Structure 1
Amino acid sequence: MLDELNVVIRVFFTKEENKAALIIGNHAWNDFQSLLDRLFEGEGRDAARASRSLYEHLVNYCEVMSDTESTERYLAHRAVTAELLGNLTRGVPLLKGGEHKKERTRLARMKRDGAAHLRTVLARYGPQFKRDWSRRNLRDRASTHGYGSGYDVYRLLSQVTHGSAGGVLGTYADVTGRTVHRTGPSLDLAVLAYLEGISFFRDFVREVEKRSSINCSELVAALNRIVSCWPVYRYSLQSLDRTLWPKSPPQGPVALLAMYPTGKMRWYYWDPVMKMVKLAIPPEESEWIEEKTLAHIRSEGVHPGMVEDGKPYTAAIHHVQAVPKPGADWVKASAIFSGTPVVLPSWIKAKG
């Protein structure tokens, strides 16, 4: 498929004369490559963003190839880009000496040189042009060109980009009545992005064949084969996903207090899932907590001191936040305690 894709790309950039279409094509070809890379890795969130963009490229390509004014408006919007780039000064204070002066001058010149052009563009198209290059919203443009049915999919994929509550597909679940958040690849979104993103791109290629008069039949056939493989991709990722979700909510990090025969106390940050610990900064009012912990343990008839294998007596204090000590190394939890640390009552968390 990559051979067919490269042939079409080369012909497109050589033959097409519409400058707006060429820029949109630049977006589309690159975003499709990104989509394939992310799907291969199962990175559903990035794949969803690429798929969403491919829908916009499809609609925008049709728009600029149908209307000369739309082409002019699309290209004129670069004046807005120049202003935005000129305002990117966050990094300037981080530069030193000549680089600082050079970058500050470059940004100021870019903003100054683009200001007159931007005023001309806004005078022609109105102040709302800064927000969007087109006179019509995406949904109306899509409906005009026969792609209105894909707009709801676009909205769904946009929830990832916009950080909407529903945009955490594949990384959020209810497990035995408790919410579990997962970091890493969203396989659910990868399954969705595979079918929709490749379908959007296939429609884009079909439009290129029709509107730019480029033979894309081999590429469309290759894309059809990829789309037909979606059930296999779906089954594989869903099977893998089921093995990744826990049967019960994983335990969060815990403050661990280790007590030695000498009376010395050490605080640890304990991650039960990783089965690792590292030294922690003693929490606020640690002395009071240590005193109450000792009193509670002694009331249970236990004398804190070395236990099995020369390891200290340990207590898990769930209502105290442990902060790892900067630079501390991870150590296997089994090196600090055997079995399970004693769990202290919730009232041992702060003075009063």
Structure 2
Amino acid sequence: MRLQSKNAKIYVAGHRGMVGRGIWHHLREAGYTNLVGRTSDELDLRDPHASRRFFEDEQPDFVVLAAARVGGILANDRYPADFLGDNLAIEQSVIQAAHEVGVERLVFLGSTCIYPKHAPQPMPEDSLLTGPLEPTNQWYAVAKIAGHKLCEGLHRQHGDDMVTLMPTNLYGPGDDFDLETSHVLPALLRKTHEAKSRKPSRPDGSDAPVTLWGSGEPKREFLYVDDLADAVRFVLETPEEEIHEVAPDGMLNVGVGEDLSINDLMTLIQDVVGHHGPVEHDESKPDGTPRKLVDTSRMDALGWTAQTSLRNGIEQTYDWYREHEEELIEA
């Protein structure tokens, strides 16, 4: 059942993270005021009993599952059991509780890392499980695949209205800028800013160099977080039969439909930051998947497209980073 009433109770799981916060603010701006959220200190979503009590007490009409343990290549490699175990536990706990109390619709947020390393480009939803995963993020990917399959299974077996959105690489205000755990765009934005800020500059007057992992040749697609929030609202408001007409498995890619190399991303970030210095490649580090561009034909058919250009999104993200730089470094 689609979202129609502005008074409907909507539970946003993970509302303090970058994605959940964006969804929360976007829904409020759209006039939905009956929003429910809990911090991880207030509710451990890995605990199925605590989650069930929460759902029984609050009785949400709609659920957006944006809570997850996330991180870049380095974090995935260092903490494989945590990325697999924590995400499986969160998904099982929340999705099962939503089923048991009979929510009207649940939107589960996955990730395009679920697709095979050498999936056809752009990647269609039906390429899922057709080949091996990228080893550097397989733990997170397996968990997200399981979450989608649980939603699909509950729809097939019990008729539950559950939809999975597979967003491409996300970025925006509130992103993780910790170089140990961040994804490529915020990591490069911070590195470039710090290289420009380093004093004194090099003897020739140029800024300090920025080190780029790998060859810089892999291509990536980037989606601004506010666009994903708009896609979530759009899907919540779309009739179930329209969604399943274009997506029988309940899975929808969310992207912008174009990508660029990491080297070209680096050039764009240098231009936004105003960095005039060399870029050095550390080719001892992995490249990851060669290309990740999603096929957005299903969302296109429903009538939704992203609105934020990559440059505009990076500029807004950089403004936010400079405003919060001191607290981010102290953290």
Instruction: Report the TM-score, using the length of structure 1 for normalisation.
Output: 0.22
Tell which structure's C-alpha radius of gyration is larger. Answer: 1
Give 1 or 2: higher helix fraction: 1
- Higher RCO (CA < 8 A, seq sep 6+): 2
